[in-house]
Amino acid sequence: MPGRWLARAAREGGDRVALCTQDKNLTYTQLRQRVDSLCAYLLQFPHASVFGVEARDSRLMILALHATARLSRVLLPLDPQLPETQRQALLAQSGCRLVISDTEIGRLPTGVNSFRIDDDALLLDGDVECHSAHVPTTIKPSEIVLIIPTTGTTSDPKGVMLSAANLRASVDQVNQSLDFHSGDCWLNCLPLSHIAGLAIPYRCVRAGAAMVLHQRFDAEQVWQDLERYRVSHISLVPAMLGRLLDAAAGRRVPASLRVALIGGGALDVALARRAHAAGWPLKVSYGMSETGSMCVLDDSAGAGTRANRVGTPVPGFRVTLSEGSRGRIRIGGDAVMAGYVNPQLRPGEGLQEGWFESGDLGYWNDEGHLCVTGRADDLLNSGGLRLHPREVEQLLADCPGLSTVAVSSRSDPLWGDRLVAFYEGSISESTLEDWARAHLPSGLRPREFRRIELLPRNRMGKLDRRALKGYTVAMPAAAPLAEPKVGGPRG
């Protein structure tokens, strides 16, 4: 079980490097000593079963991850940038009564206490006093060990409960699929309040491997550390990959890098081709909090160069569609969540006989690969034609001078959803509109184009379509268009 992994790694290879940061490298023995000391702090709260952790220093979250697992408590990671209303909702959903932090915490709901960790020795240089901590003699696989908030790009975040068995299944399946073992090194520059970032330290300690931890994403620092630490694995969202390619200035990726795992959103085909040409060993993943992170993988030689394709199920997962060959994506397997959180930590909510039905739409291509077309909630109806914004975005992406684009809509009495394209790039709005008129089918052509400095994204780098929709509300009134024909606008 996860609570035993650190002790085993320290016992089998205590002198191996476990954690690399800008301040200090820690061996597995040193990491365990710091975790033992944090356990001594947490034992002051014997009645707290769920520990909320709000850490601006990512190293505290790493220690809390191991300490809560060792004490058979539940970790609720809280993003310091989360709006107060959403944080309070998560605390209420989970029944959390104690929040630990390394800084001042904002207002908490009645009945929720806070505890500030001020002991710099836990995180910085110097030895720490080794404390012994009570470890439960038996940890049931069904026990909840992690409540991970969903990203909330289309709705308010919910807590996803992952049991010890869920985590073990996810970590073992991913490590096997990505050939990740002792002696390897994973660079982690993703937020630890999201499953994509938080899954990495679990994978590393399970394998007895090293993790290079970045407090935030800095493209040049990532480049330096890829070489410095002989990194074998890295996880990135598409926006990070693009910035790394821009920062590369012709440099090829170090030969030590075997896996560049891309997830967290659709990977643009042009960006994938550019990365392959620069030597990046891309593997495209699909997953979510509810599946403990990755559940589908494309590890083919041309991963990412086929629009929408995300690969085949990782061993241990079962994937079906709600309507045969197309529809909502349904996932089953031992790593699928125990359920959405409730104060009693009762399993089952959000599952149908063990299956989780996502809000993503997909289909199987002729080669048996899963293709993801986007969120069902994002479907638009423009002039009688039902379409997904990603269809339009993929077509617009071929336009020279356009860096990235996102399509939203505004309400129109004749068209229903009037397509609006927001984009980053050097091309002018009028030139892009002319290009779209020449290259896009009429029914898939936006009727308005707006160049902006940066598209709205969440902390994971995913496009925030809810915020994008708000941009259309702030836009000036649109000029009237001719009445569309059913089945798609013309002209």
Same structural domain for residues 343 and 410? no
- Residue 482, pLDDT above cutoff 60: no
Top pLDDT among 276 and 374 is at 276
Q: Would you place residue 491 in the very low, low, confident or very high pLDDT band (cuts 50, 70, 90)? A: very low
Listed residues 372, 405, 432: the one ending a domain: 372
Q: Look at residues 310, 342, 372 and tell me which one is the last residue of a structural domain.
A: 372
**480 domain residue, yes or no:** no
Gap between the Cα atoms of 248 and 259, Å rounded: 18
In-domain check, residue 23? yes
Q: Do the domain assignments include residue 333?
A: yes
Output the pLDDT for position 136. 55
pLDDT digits (tens, 9 = 90+) for 32-78: 999 998 998 899 898 899 999 999 999 999 999 999 999 999 999 99
pLDDT score of 22: 83
Q: What is the pLDDT of residue 396?
A: 93
Alpha-helical regions (H) of 388-428: 389-396
228 part of a folded domain: yes
Specify whether 17 is located in the same domain as 87: yes
Same domain, 468 and 360: no
Residues near 491 by beta carbon (within 8 Å), at least 6 away in sequence:
442, 482
Which of 94-103, 131-140, 289-298 has the least mean pLDDT? 131-140
Whichever domain contains 359, its CATH number is: 3.40.50.12780
Q: 319 lies in which domain range?
A: 2-372
Structural domain contains residue 486: no
Residue 84 burial (CB count, 10 A): 11
Mean pLDDT on 487-491: 39
**pLDDT score recorded for residue 153:** 47
Residue 167, pLDDT score: 97
DSSP symbols for 253-269: PPTT--EEEE-SSPPPH
Could you tell me the CATH number of the domain that includes residue 466? 3.30.300.30
Same domain, 6 and 96: yes
Flag whether 446 is in a domain.
Answer: yes
Mapping DSSP onto H, E and C, the string for 439-488 reads: HCCHHHCCCEEEECCCCCECCCCCECHHHHHHHHHHCCCCCCCCCCCCCC
Query: Could you tell me the two tokens for 68?
Result: 């809560």
* Domain contains 491: no
pLDDT of residue 174: 97
Query: Measuring CA to CA, how many Å separate 322 from each of 233, 329, 482?
Result: 34, 7, 37
E strands, 263-391, where? 282-288, 293-298, 309-313, 317-323, 326-333, 339-340, 356-364, 370-375, 380-382, 385-387
pLDDT bin (cut points 50, 70, 90) of residue 298 is very high
Q: Tens of pLDDT along 428-456?
A: 999 999 999 999 998 899 999 999 999 98
Mean pLDDT of all residues in 84-97: 91
Same domain, 426 and 347: no
pLDDT digits (tens, 9 = 90+) for 381-436: 887 788 889 889 989 988 999 989 999 998 887 778 889 999 999 999 999 999 99
Cα(265)–Cα(388) distance, integer angstroms:
15
Split into its structural domains, the chain has a count of 2
Show which of 345, 372, 399 is a domain's final residue.
372
325 with 469, same domain: the answer is no
Rounded to whole angstroms, how far apart are CA atoms 77 and 147?
A: 7
Residues 218 and 339 in one domain: yes
Is residue 120 over pLDDT 90? no
What pLDDT was estimated at residue 19? Answer: 97
Q: Is residue 318 domain-shared with residue 363, that is, in the same domain?
A: yes
Q: What is the pLDDT of residue 117?
A: 86
- CA–CA dist 378, 438 (Å, integer): 26
pLDDT grade for 131, boundaries at 50, 70 and 90: low
pLDDT in tens, 332-360: 999 999 999 999 999 999 999 999 999 99
Q: Compute the mean pLDDT over every residue in the chain, rounded to the nearest whole number.
A: 89
Report the alpha-carbon distance of residue 326 to residue 320 in Å, rounded: 9
Q: How far apart are the first and last CA of the chain?
A: 62
- Give me the pLDDT at residue 487, please: 46
pLDDT average, residue stretch 257-261: 98
Q: Are residues 164 and 286 in the same domain?
A: yes
Residues 67, 6: Cα–Cα separation, whole Å: 10
- Is the same domain home to 393 and 367? no
Whether 396 and 333 share a structural domain = no
Specify if 434 maps to a domain: yes
Checking 402-407 for CB contacts under 8 A at 24+ apart, the result is 402/427, 402/432, 404/239, 404/242, 404/268, 404/455, 406/455, 406/463, 406/465, 406/468, 407/446
Q: Based on the fold, state whether residues 383 and 360 are members of the same structural domain.
A: no
